[in-house]
Amino acid sequence: MGYEEKWAKNPMLKPRIVKVTVNIGVGGSGDRLQKAMKVLEMLTGQKPVPRKARRTIKEFGIHRGENIAAMVTLRGKSAIEFLNKAFDAVGRRIKASSFDNFGNFSFGIKEHISIPGVKYDPEIGIFGMDVCVTIERPGFRIMRRRRAKSKVPLRHRVSKEEAIEFISKEFDVTIV
């Protein structure tokens, strides 16, 4: 029995995209970080959050606690819309090694101008970004709720093969 037959029989087994996290690492604060935040807001329609450096790295001139990156978390319809654009930017091809054992996957976009509908602006420049996608089944709330928390058993987690099947069918993506 294939995954699609299983999902049709029991809708609680069908995976879903919970969130898409988009991250632009700049490596320093200042004007370049502000431009990166502007790009993220333009692409996603949400206000990005600056991320701080965890430790000091003298070679790169990074100090602990300094803002060096910006990120946005998308959920629901906006996540799926952005994911479709991001897949177009990478030619609808993802490496199988991008998937972890629990069905989550990440990929990078080298230039934000490769996303359809985005024009190059010489004042802003070009930024690359990481796109991380979290896939779960219904029922994972028991892990996060405040009262009577419980663990999600391994049999209910999404496997790598299942996530590959789900993404290739739902988004018409080729897994290389």
For residue 80, what is the domain's CATH number?
Answer: 3.30.1440.10
Identify whether 9 is part of a domain: no
The dihedral of CA 40, 44, 49, 54: what is its sign?
Answer: negative
- Separation of alpha carbons 91 and 116, rounded Å: 11
Please give the structure tokens belonging to residue 30. 């200042």
Collapsing DSSP to helix, strand or coil, 143 comes out as: helix
Range of the domain at 41: 16-175
Residue tagged 């070679």 (tokens): 59
Q: Comparing C-alpha atoms, which of 49, 66, 47, 45 is closest to residue 57? A: 66
Asked if the structure places residue 39 within a domain, the reply is: yes
Mean pLDDT score across all residues of the chain: 94
- For residue 106, what are the β-bridge partners? 132
Whether 93 is in a domain gets the answer: yes
Q: What is the pLDDT of residue 153?
A: 94
Domain assignment present for residue 24? The answer is yes
Number of structural domains in the chain: 1
User: From CA 133, how far away is CA 116, in angstroms rounded?
Assistant: 19
Answer yes or no: is 5 within a domain.
no
Q: Are 170 and 158 in contact (CB under 8 A)?
A: no
The pLDDT value given to residue 2: 86
135 domain residue, yes or no = yes
- Cα(143)–Cα(101) distance, integer angstroms: 18
Helix axes 76-89, 31-44, angle to 10 degrees: 110
Is 1 among the domain residues?
Answer: no
Dump pLDDT digits (tens) for 30-87: 899 999 999 999 999 999 999 999 999 889 888 999 999 999 999 999 999 999 999 9
Residue 7 domain flag: no
List pLDDT tens digits, range 15-28.
999 999 999 999 88
- CB 70, CB 51: distance < 8 Å: yes
- Nearest to 36, CA basis, from 45, 44, 24, 47: 24
